[in-house]
């Protein structure tokens, strides 16, 4: 390879890694494995060094991803560096050799700790009180997620037992295996895409806008690092003890090792142990134990020289593809699924795995009859990694997506730039069942007793074909159904009748509009106040609501443009469902005509609660600072909006000032 070819390959690798970084850190939806990412990164680093092609903006010089634009940005006082990775013992021995040569002696020890497959979080405590929770972001700046962090029960709001004046704590948020499976099961019942692995579900949960929704997610937290204003050097082992004394939770699987041989022994033990743990661990972190030696060793531009991550290879197995079948989702998405010869993998029997979409099948060239390598992504979700022998003779022809829905025979289509094939037939039986189940689910109209089995019977017997038909059911029609006695039939009818009292935001969510989850439905209800106003809104009007982007706006307009959906809504209106927000009593006009922008974390209110107060007193909360802004309401750890307000001379107020403005007693 000459320099010209190397430069071209470097550009390809940088583009791929930037996209992978965004998918991992911002979208929480990675498309390549950790091992593939590390291999591509190593190749890029080798080419940059060999041909002198390194640049400051290369992925080899960066840590993590850019902070999300949905949260205030905070600057970390000390960079949160990533770790260099290794997958083999020789490279781990090389790490030990480098440490020994840089220090010039062998008087150091190591700490070995399990590496968790979750999301890194930085905590800051002042006088024992939790004042900030932030993501790692790009290592220098992260997202302020304090409100969300405060919902995690493992994170104390106040430290105990001799805490320092200021404590900076780092750790990992994660979701346990069983809780992850329950979460995915619930998402699929709601017609939402399942998370690929616990790491993605954790990252996605931490970036939700409503802390109450975050509180419903089963997030746990382990602390593993401590920085204080105490300048006396200590050890990592002592830090773990102090973290526990302060009331923070640490993983019990950590071990002081006197040399690299003891580290290898500990890794071997944990390789076996990890399958019996309730949470995911993807390796072992090895750190020089003594702080004084860490200071001497220092860091490169992106990683400390005193630590390394030994990563476990994902467990794999080979099996044969018996069939590729199609599943129909609630919104008509067609998902190809591979059925395998049963095989044991990471302690469970695997018989099938999602192939995601037609493009993914063609990218990996998966065909019926192939022997394939499978692994569990995050040791939870089976996935096909590759075909064992793609060049063999007499393979089956390449997979071709059928042109028609496997359930109803309707012609399949792709919407816009969507990569998924969809069935858009509103009468498609699997979609009907799933739409009705979604409509009746706990987060929608919460119709108790209308589970999957009952819905299946109602549809199969021809008693309902839409969720609007539920309101026309009669007891005499229900009694012949299996396990449906007089009392259970009456209870179901009572639950259906009670659902008419559910508020407008739940009705909007229950309609099953693509991309409209609970939070978006609530924003739409607050923004438009009535179903009629929402139905008549165009994309531009929808986009005026902060949380509504072009994708959601297009989906809402498309839904209400379809005549059968408008007819369905009309029928629901006739049955007396709630189509209007309850009028909020105006407390005063003290903020009439005033535009306020919020930045940082308020001591007493969530953003939603502060917004409601602003609106009750006649004001309007806007999302960005401009010359038209009247006040910037500043909380803890303000972001870039604070700097812009100062530049523009906007009046900056804090919570106490705000309460005085509306004469609210504290």
Catalytic residues: 115
Rg (CA), the chain: 28
- 3-state class of 336 per DSSP? strand
- The Cα angle at residue 602 between residues 600 and 603, in degrees rounded to 5: 135
Q: CA-to-CA distance for 229 and 163, rounded, in angstroms?
A: 11
Q: CA-to-CA distance for 43 and 203, rounded, in angstroms?
A: 27
DSSP assignment string, 472-508: G--HHHHTTSTT--HHHHHHHHHHHHHGGGS-HHHHH
Cα→Cα distances 135→24, 54, 67, 147, 509, Å = 13, 27, 8, 12, 30
Count of CB atoms situated within 10 Å of the CB of 139: 20
Q: How many CA atoms lie within 13 A of 319 on its CB side?
A: 24
Q: CA-to-CA distance for 489 and 483, rounded, in angstroms?
A: 10
Q: Residue 178 is encoded by which pair of tokens? A: 């069983």
C-alpha dihedral, 484 to 488 to 492 to 497, nearest 10°:
140
Check residue 517 and give left, alpha or beta (phi > 0: left; psi -120 to 50: alpha): beta
DSSP assignment string, 59-93: GGG--S-PPPTTS-EEE-SS------EE-SHHHHH
Cα torsion angle, 537, 541, 544, 546, sign:
positive
- Mark out the alpha helices in 331-451 (DSSP H runs): 358-364, 429-440
Q: Residue 485 is encoded by which pair of tokens? A: 């006695």
Q: CA-to-CA distance for 346 and 275, rounded, in angstroms?
A: 7
């Amino acid at each position: 390879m000459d320099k010209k070819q190397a430069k071209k390959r470097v550009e390809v690798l940088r583009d791929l890694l930037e996209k992978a970084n965004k998918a991992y850190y911002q979208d929480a939806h990675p498309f390549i494995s950790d091992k593939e990412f590390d291999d591509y990164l190593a190749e890029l680093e080798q080419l940059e060094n060999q041909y002198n092609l390194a640049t400051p903006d290369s992925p080899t010089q960066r840590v993590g991803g850019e902070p999300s634009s949905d949260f205030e940005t905070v600057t970390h006082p000390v960079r949160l560096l990533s770790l260099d990775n290794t997958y083999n013992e020789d490279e781990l021995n090389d790490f030990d050799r480098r440490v020994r040569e840089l220090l010039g002696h062998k008087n150091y020890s190591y700490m070995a700790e399990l590496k968790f497959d979750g999301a890194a979080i930085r905590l800051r405590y002042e006088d024992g009180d939790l004042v900030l929770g932030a993501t790692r972001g790009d290592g220098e700046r992260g997202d302020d997620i304090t409100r969300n962090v405060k919902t995690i029960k493992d994170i104390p709001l106040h430290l105990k037992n001799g805490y320092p004046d200021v404590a900076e704590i780092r750790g990992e948020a994660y979701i346990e295996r069983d809780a992850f499976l329950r979460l995915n099961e619930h998402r699929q019942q709601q017609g939402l895409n399942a998370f690929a692995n616990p790491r993605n579900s954790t990252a996605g949960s931490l970036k939700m806008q409503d802390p109450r929704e975050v509180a419903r997610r089963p997030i746990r937290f382990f602390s593993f690092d401590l920085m204080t204003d105490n300048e006396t050097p200590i050890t990592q082992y002592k830090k773990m003890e102090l973290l526990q004394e302060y009331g923070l939770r640490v993983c019990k699987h950590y071990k002081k090792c006197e040399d690299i041989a003891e580290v290898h022994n500990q890794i071997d033990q944990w390789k076996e142990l990890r399958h019996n743990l309730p949470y995911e661990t993807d390796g072992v972190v090895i750190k020089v134990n003594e702080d004084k030696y860490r200071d001497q060793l220092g860091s490169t531009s992106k990683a400390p020289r005193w630590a390394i991550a030994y990563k476990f290879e994902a467990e794999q197995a080979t099996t044969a593809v018996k069939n590729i079948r199609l599943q129909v989702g609630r919104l008509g998405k067609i998902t190809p699924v591979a059925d395998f010869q049963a095989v044991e993998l990471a302690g469970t029997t695997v018989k099938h795995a999602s192939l995601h979409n037609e493009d993914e099948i063609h990218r990996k060239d998966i065909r019926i009859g192939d022997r394939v390598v499978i692994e569990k992504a995050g040791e939870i979700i089976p996935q096909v990694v590759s075909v064992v022998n793609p060049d063999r003779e007499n393979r089956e022809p390449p997979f071709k997506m059928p042109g028609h829905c496997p359930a109803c025979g309707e012609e399949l289509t792709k919407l816009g730039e969507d990569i998924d094939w969809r069935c858009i037939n509103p009468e498609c039986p699997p979609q009907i069942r799933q739409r009705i189940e979604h409509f009746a689910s706990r987060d929608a109209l919460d119709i108790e007793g209308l589970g999957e089995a009952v819905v299946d019977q109602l549809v199969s017997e021809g008693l309902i074909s839409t969720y609007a038909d539920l309101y026309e059911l009669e007891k005499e029609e229900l009694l012949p159904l299996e396990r449906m006695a007089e009392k259970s039939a009456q209870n179901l009818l009572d639950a259906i009748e009670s659902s008419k009292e559910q508020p407008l935001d739940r009705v909007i969510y229950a309609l099953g509009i693509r991309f409209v989850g609970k939070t978006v439905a609530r924003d739409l209800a607050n923004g438009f106040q009535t179903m009629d106003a929402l139905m008549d809104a165009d994309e531009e009007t929808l986009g005026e609501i902060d949380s509504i982007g072009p994708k959601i706006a297009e989906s809402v307009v498309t839904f209400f443009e379809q005549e059968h959906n408008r007819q369905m809504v009309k029928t629901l209106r006739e049955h007396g469902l709630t189509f209007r927000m309850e009028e909020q009593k105006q407390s005063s006009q003290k903020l009439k005509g005033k535009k306020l922008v919020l930045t940082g974390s308020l001591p007493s209110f969530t953003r939603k609660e502060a917004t409601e107060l602003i609106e009750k007193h006649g004001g309007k909360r806007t999302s960005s600072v401009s010359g038209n802004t009247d006040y910037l309401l500043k909380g803890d750890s303000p972001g870039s909006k604070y700097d812009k307000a100062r530049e523009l001379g906007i009046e900056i107020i804090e919570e106490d000032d705000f309460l005085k403005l509306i004469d609210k007693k504290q």
